[in-house]
């Protein structure tokens, strides 16, 4: 297949391996008539498979070069099933492109991947699932469990709001141009309600402070926010480091008023 010149600034690595494309599509599991929003469709590597499965696909692409190519899919027998939007996923309110809950998918630009996931999780009720291809290291951080090296703010927030699944690795050779690092597919299924009754903003702030200084004990990293006495009163060791705390522990800390 002939690919356009890749723009590094837009994180362009085009997926060309048909076997991997089919596996990603199977993970998304598109249903006839189901709404799917794809971010960064590029030349439509995944888009066509989603349309073939009968889904109603809305694509959001920043690179204007691809817009006519994507519009062309209307003439390939998918008329009425694809809506093409030229825009920026970091600025546009993609959560409200469709009224009913829908599936969000994307082989996302590495530099904006986490921001898009966090943005999507701010309105979890809008998404049936979020299936994303990103660098392996980021998918590992999204799906990490407590007491591992990857357990950090991203995993705490993602597991607070969703069920996360690490699906499979995608080697550099499956893309053009080949990225320097391994990629992986991850999936988040937003929960109907957060796992604990705590404001997301507060949890986000506490984890930012705690993991921002990962090597420090909580008594130091949370100084000014939560006192040693307050931590002890809820049974959390002020000498602990953040990677040893569970999601429940962070939610307990987040309930404490500053
Ligand atoms: N989905 C295609 C594929 O699998 O071959 C392309 C994936 S490529 C890694 C990322 C795509 O996201 C590119 O098409 C790029 O132009 C687009 N993109 C980059 N930044 C974007 C943004 N802020 N909003 C929407 N699309 C963006």
Q: Average pLDDT per run of 10 along the chain, which is 258 residues long?
A: 86 96 98 97 96 97 96 90 97 96 94 90 93 97 95 96 97 96 97 94 95 94 96 97 97 92
Burial class for 132, CB neighbours closer than 10 Å (0-12, 13-18, 19+): buried
* Ligand 1, pocket residues at CB < 6 Å: 10-15, 39-42, 45-46, 60-63, 88-90, 107, 109, 112
pTM of the model: 0.94
Yes or no: say if 112 and 11 are a contact pair by the CB < 8 Å rule. Answer: yes
Pocket test for ligand 1, best of 4, 12, 36, 112 (most atoms within 8 A of CB): 12
The reported pLDDT for the residue numbered 81 is: 96
Residues 6+ apart with CB under 8 A from 195: 159, 160, 161, 247, 251
- Tokens 């994507």 locate to 70
pLDDT at position 77, please?
86
DSSP 188-240: EEE-SS-SSSS-HHHHHHHHHHHHHTTTS-HHHHTTTTS-HHHHHHTT--TT-
Contact 176, 121 (CB under 8 A): no
**Cα(107) to centroid of ligand 1, in Å?**
7
Determine the residue of 18, 40, 92 to mutate for testing ligand 1's pocket, defined as the one with the most ligand atoms within 8 A of the Cβ atom: 40
**HEC letters along 137-202:** HHHHHHHCCCCCCCCCHHHHHHHHHEEEEEEEEECHHHEECCCCCCEEEEEEEECCCCCCCCCHHH
Q: Which domains does the chain have, with CATH numbers?
A: 8-190 (3.40.50.150), 200-254 (1.10.8.100)
At 1 the pLDDT is 63
Closest ligand 1 atom to Cα of 7: 16
Residue 98, both tokens? 């469709």
């Amino acid at each position: 297949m002939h690919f356009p010149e890749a723009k590094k600034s837009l994180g362009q690595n085009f997926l060309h391996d048909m076997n991997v494309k089919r596996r990603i599509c199977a993970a998304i599991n598109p249903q006839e008539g189901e709404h799917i929003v794809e971010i960064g469709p590029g030349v439509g590597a995944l888009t066509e498979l989603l349309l073939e499965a009968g889904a109603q696909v809305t694509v959001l692409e920043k690179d204007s070069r691809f817009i006519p190519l994507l519009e062309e899919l209307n003439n390939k027998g998918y008329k009425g099933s694809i809506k093409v939007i030229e825009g920026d996923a970091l600025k546009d309110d993609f959560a409200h492109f469709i009224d009913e809950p829908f599936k969000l998918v994307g082989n996302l630009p590495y530099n904006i991947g986490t921001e898009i996931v966090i943005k999507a999780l701010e309105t979890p009720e809008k998404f049936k699932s979020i299936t994303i291809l990103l660098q392996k290291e980021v998918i590992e951080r999204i799906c990490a469990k407590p007491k591992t090296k990857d357990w950090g703010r991203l995993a705490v927030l993602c597991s607070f709001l969703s069920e996360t699944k690490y699906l499979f690795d995608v080697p550099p050779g499956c893309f053009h141009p080949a990225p320097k690092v391994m990629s992986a597919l991850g999936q988040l299924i937003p929960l109907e309600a957060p796992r604990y009754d705590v404001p997301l903003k507060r949890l986000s702030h506490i984890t930012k402070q705690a993991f921002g200084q990962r090597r420090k004990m909580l008594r130091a990293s949370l100084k000014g926010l939560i006192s040693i006495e307050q931590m002890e009163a809820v049974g959390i060791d002020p000498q602990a480091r953040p990677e040893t705390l569970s999601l429940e522990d962070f939610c307990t800390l987040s309930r404490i008023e500053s």
